[in-house]
Amino acid sequence: MLIRDATAEDWDRIWPFWHRIVSAGDTYAWDPDTPEPDARELWMAPANHVFVVEDEDGALVATAYVRPNYGGPAAHIANAGFMVDPDRAGRGLGRRLAEHVLDQARRDGYTGMVFNAVVETNPALKLWESLGFRTLGTVPGAFRHPEHGPVGLSIMFREL
C-alpha cells in the first residue's frame, strides 16, 4: 500500500467511488447528484492538499484532502475529508490513511483539525474518536438520512 500526494490525473480514478459514496447520501452533507465537474472542483480545489492510496496492484483505493477550515488568523486549523472505495472498506485503509494525514497536517503547520459535519450514525465517528477527536457539539436532526430519517451532525475536533 502506497500513500502519496494526488496529481490532477488521479481524479478520473477517484470519481467512481467518490460518486458512489456521495450519491448514497448517508455520509456527506453534499448534494447526492453532484455532477462530476463540481465534484472535481470540491475535492481537487487548489487550496486542498489531496492524498491518494494505491494498493499493491496500483489500484487507487482511497483518498483524503486537508485544507484550512477557516481563514486569516484561524487558517492554522485544518479540515479534512476521507473516502475509501466501498469495495475496500473495513480493512484498515481508512485508519492508516487518517494517521498519515494527521501526521502530514501537523508537518504542514496546522495545530488542530475540525470535522464540520460528521453524521452521527456514521461508524466513522468511532474511528475519529479512537484517533483523538472529541465531539464539540451536535446539530440535532440536521441530516436527512435515507434510512434513519433526521439525524444529528457532529462537529469534531482534535489538537495536532
Q: Using CB under 6 A as the criterion, which residues of the chain lie in contact with ligand COA when the complex forms?
A: 21, 27, 82-84, 89-95, 115, 118, 122-124, 126-127
Q: How many residues does the chain have?
A: 160
Q: Closest separation between CB of residue 58 and ligand COA, Å?
A: 18
Nearer residue to ligand COA within complex by CB, 35 or 92 = 92
State in angstroms the smallest separation of the CB of 98 from ligand COA: 7
Question: Which CB atom, from 24 or from 109, has the smaller least distance to ligand COA?
Answer: 24
Beta carbon nearer to ligand COA, 110 or 143: 143
Look up residue 3 and give its amino acid.
I
Q: Which is nearer to ligand COA, 80 or 110 (CB)?
A: 80
What's the rounded Cα separation, in Å, for the pair 155 and 29? 13
CA distances, 150 to each of 6, 26, 50 (Å): 35, 11, 31
Compute the least distance from the CB of residue 107 to ligand COA, in Å. Answer: 21
Q: Got the DSSP string for 35-84? A: -HHHHHHHHS-TT-EEEEEE-TT--EEEEEEEEESS-GGGTTEEEEEEEE
Distance in Å, CB of 64 to ligand COA, minimum? 8
Query: Helix crossing, 36-43 with 11-24: angle to 10°?
Result: 100
Which residue, judged by CB position, is nearest to ligand COA in the bound state? 94
